[in-house]
Amino acid sequence: MLREEDKETRKKKKKKVFTLLLVVDDENERVLLGEKKTGFGKGFWNGFGGKVEESDPTVLAAALRELEEEACIQALDAKEVGRITFIWIDEPEKPPWLVHIFRADTYSGQERETEEMRPQWFPFDAIPFQQMWADDQHWYPLVLNRQKRKNFEGTFNFKEVTTLVDFELKEVQSLSMQ
């Protein structure tokens, strides 16, 4: 477990920046996820996303690029809804990851399997949390539930790559500058 001051120091370290986008079909109460076929998080269901590259003009542009690369569709109204920092408490040299979370309600194109992801729609009440990152069950409701659709910020501490140790999560009026 990290001491409070260690947590603060770790949060301030230079972060690696990622995107994660959920395509939501409210009318049919379902969300589009992808099974990751390669690399980090292989075998987990997740939204679409990846590292923000220097060539991406904005974080939103990075989120749209990753969605297109991974699922072959174009989000038309993606909006950032949350920011989460992931910290690996047993790997002090590994920088924290800052993941910008986006939600899109409309898109063009037809979702297709790619080398990286196998897309599939899941009803809101049958999201496969057992085969997802352990943090997801805590913040997905904030993205999916329209009534509670506020922005959110959180920090999740992991050890041994996939074991969630503890976390903080709060709803906010607007996302902080980073």
Ligand X SMILES: Nc1[nH]c(=O)nc2c1ncn2[C@H]1C[C@H](O)[C@@H](COP(=O)(O)OP(=O)(O)OP(=O)(O)O)O1
The Cα-based distances of 14 to 1, 50, 87, 97, 150 in angstroms read 21, 17, 12, 9, 27
Amino acid found at 25: D
Query: HSE on the CB side for 77, CA within 13 Å?
Result: 5
State which of positions 94-113 bind ligand X (CB under 6 A). Answer: 99
Other beta carbons within 10 angstroms of residue 70's beta carbon come to 26
Does residue 167 belong to the site contacting ligand X (CB under 6 A)?
no
Q: Can you tell me which of 50, 82, 119, 154 binds ligand X, judged by CB under 6 A?
A: 50
Does residue 122 belong to the site contacting ligand X (CB under 6 A)?
no
- Find the shortest distance in angstroms from Cβ 8 to ligand X: 20
In angstroms, the CA 169 to CA 40 distance is: 23
Q: Can you tell me which of 118, 120, 133, 159 binds ligand X, judged by CB under 6 A?
A: 133
User: Contacts with ligand X: how many residues (CB under 6 A)?
Assistant: 15
Q: Can you tell me which of 49, 82, 119, 154 binds ligand X, judged by CB under 6 A?
A: 49
Q: Can you tell me which of 9, 26, 40, 92 binds ligand X, judged by CB under 6 A?
A: 40
